Structure 1
Amino acid sequence: MPEPTDSRGVSEVLGYVLVFSLVVSTVAVVSVGGLATLDDVKSAEQLDNGERAFDILADNVADVYRRGAPSRGTEVSVGEATLYTGNPATVNVTVDGDYVLNRTSTPIVYRNERDQRLVYNMGAVFRTNPDGGLLVRQPPHVVRDGRFLLNMVVLRASNGTSVGGSTALVRTLNDGSAVRYGDTSGAATNVSIKIESTRAPLWSDYFLGQGFDCPTQTSTVMRCEYPTTGSVERTYVVSHDIRIDIER
């Protein structure tokens, strides 16, 4: 007659296996989810740090064209991202149908592994991702109190350097400023600005917020107009040429 089996021993083994499996599964889930969360937090923090650096960059560029500083240097911690000069944007300005400005400006771009970007161009800072973007620092234009001033900050890249995995130094040098149009009699009746850029919709949103009409709005081209008759006594269009170098 066979000996009876010890059911308690079998139960203990099964219990041990179940507990061990549960612990292993829990550790695996927490590890995968936790690492993903930590990666999200790290990317967000790096992008926030990059945005603060771009805000400082914009201030330093303003020192060059507003205060006459011959040059300024801005350090940007790149980390796992890349800092480079992007595709140029073209800007045209007309006053009463006459061209007064036609320039191409090269943006400075910070791009991380998730295709989130910070872009500084023409005095403005943008923050974008594959789903859209927003303007985080407005350009230095003035449309108020009877004044209309377009301060066009034109960036010219001396090189096509792309820096990643380290700290980059962005040098900005003054290449001169010029008044392209100036009127203090209120004679100007219409100012039109056209920008060809991959961030054209964000530019449209900005100019609409400043009281412009924007009859042309596509993904790459915007044209906005401001009727100055009766509301603006002084109209100026000024270009500031800034040369940029990106170094390791």
Structure 2
Amino acid sequence: MKTIKFARKYLPLAIFIAVLGGCGGGGDGGGAQPTNAVASTPSFPVEATFTSLVSKSSTFNASATDAAGNSYALGITLTAGPDKVNTLIHPSSLRTYLQASILKKNGVTASTSSSEIYYSATPLLVWGNVNGSKNTMLVKKQTALPAMAKVGTAGAFYSGKNYKDNSTLFPDQQDVSWSLEADTATTAWLCLNTTITPALAVSASATSVEADCFRIDQNGSVSGFKSDFTQWGTTLKFR
């Protein structure tokens, strides 16, 4: 996703990106509204929730407004894909899902994007993704997700390199972690946090930081979504 000021060339696996909504039963999850956060004491399912998100077809819509008053509408669709082999990413067959997004600014389409993400289950591991015909993200390091976690905990998930324009020169660095953040006494925000550091960044502000969060209950059912994206010293908060 990218806007006039935001240059996101690789969709985080908005798992992974994630990025879904209404994942409990598919369909449109609606925008999650801000709440007065309350720290939960129960444990919440981490790996099972993310696995459910990538194995079902879902759609999510959220909106944001920038400091200048411009309005943004984001629509994201996840579709479970077939098992397939992509030797650029892994020598054996992997599971896939497709992530498509459309971003509108003041009612006019500003960008569209699609990615094919490759992963394996039990444990859930991401291996890479293909964005268009020329851009590939290859995972270099993986960390298994915990089965359960409490609010306030976080950990690494995966990291890798974004190769652009069919070139192995100057790949961007992508680091992804997970975290559980406070929401209510019975729900929490399960977040996928993605940092992309350009190889040829002219300043530290060129690094993009994104948090894609899903409101879940103790069963892992998703009832809301929010996303914060920061780059060039500006943040968009999608709700």
State the TM-score, normalized to the length of structure 2.
0.28
Structure (1 or 2) with the greater strand fraction: 2
Structure (1 or 2) with the greater helix fraction: 1
